[in-house]
Amino acid sequence: MIPAKQLLNEIVSSLRNVIAPAIAEPFPKAQAYMAAVILEFVSRQVEERSDIAEGKHEALATLFCNLSQLSGSDRLLGGGPASEAELNRLIEQLYAQRAQIGEESFTAANRLVRQTLRQLLDQDLKVAGKAGV
């Protein structure tokens, strides 16, 4: 996702340079400029949500711990830190080595991976979902 501060700054720029100059009527024109000013203050107040990053980190750490207990997991785990980049690599390895690790191990590992992916998605949907949490 685009960082909130970057988005706010771009909206300020659009209000000031695109929207407001195109408005002929004085009152809505002043409102557009004022919205830009207020958003600049809001931008200074905003902090990215830390609970999302923490929730993702916890889900990833649990996954890599659980995977290490599966037989044949040494073929999959690269030893890197539990991160989304490492999970990307692991998913590619899992499919690439499907024949070697066998269908049973593939299914077990894939089930754990998908549980984690669901948890990661749920974190992103806290912001992007229709209801927001």
Partner 1 sequence: MAAARTTEERIRDYLGSKLPAARDLTLSDFVQTAGGWSHEIYIFYANWKEDGRERREGFCLRKDPGSGLLRELSSLKEQFAVIKALEKTAAPTPKAYWYEEDPSLLGGPFFVMEKVEGEVPNPWSRAGKQFYAEAAKRGKLPRSFVEALASLHNLDWRAAGLDFIGVPGPGKDFALREIEKWEILIRQSISKPEPVLTEVLMWLKANAPQAQRLAFVHGAYRSGNLIIRDDAIAAIIDWELQVIGDPMYDVAYVLSDLNREGSPLLSCVVDRDFFLDYYERLTGLKVDLEICRYYEILYMMRSTAFWLSASGLFAEGRNKDLRLARTTYSVPVVLDMAAKALGF
Contact footprint for partner 1 (CB under 8 A): 1-2, 6-7, 10-11, 13-14, 18, 83-85, 87-88, 91-92, 94-95, 98, 113-115, 117-118, 120-121, 124-125, 127-130
Instruction: Estimate the crossing angle of helix 4-14 against helix 26-45, to 10 degrees.
Output: 160
CB atoms within 10 A of CB 22: 9
CB of 27 to partner 1, least distance (A): 23
Pick the closer one to partner 1 by CB: 2 or 24: 2
Q: Is 27 exposed, middle or buried (0-12, 13-18, 19+ CB in 10 A)?
A: exposed
Pick the closer one to partner 1 by CB: 43 or 83: 83
CB of 39 to partner 1, least distance (A): 13
How many residues make up the chain in this entry?
A: 133
> Contact 69/43 with Cβ under 8 angstroms?
no
CB of 86 to partner 1, least distance (A): 8
